[in-house]
Amino acid sequence: SSRVLWTLAVTQLHYVFTPGYETYSYYGPLNYVTFNVGLHNEHHDFDRVPWSRLHAIKAMAPEFYDLPHYTSWVGVLWRYATDPNITPFSRVIRQSKKAKSM
């Protein structure tokens, strides 16, 4: 269902699994059925590029996407469930611009 895919995407894309990296891309076959939702870093770098062309970004500039990434959403969920160092609080939280100016 779409709720399961959303949970997978949020867990995989926004939890800190590798110190120093707060977002990750997923390079696997499920991108073909999820409209490339796993190409997260590429999407954030070029948010106006259509989902169908996000693979071209990595192909054009592979040196910028030599980053930690995933090839298995099941593996991400397994690590989240079994790694005691990863909790629901393993996320980067930033203050809003409004809060900073106060």
Tens digit of pLDDT for each residue in 47-60? 999 999 999 999 99
Query: How open is the CA angle 81-6-83, to the nearest 5 degrees?
Result: 15
3-state SS assignment for residue 38: coil
Which residues in the chain land under pLDDT 70?
A: 1-13, 99-102
| Whether 21 contacts 67, CB under 8 Å | yes
- Average pLDDT score over the chain: 84
**pLDDT for position 54:** 94
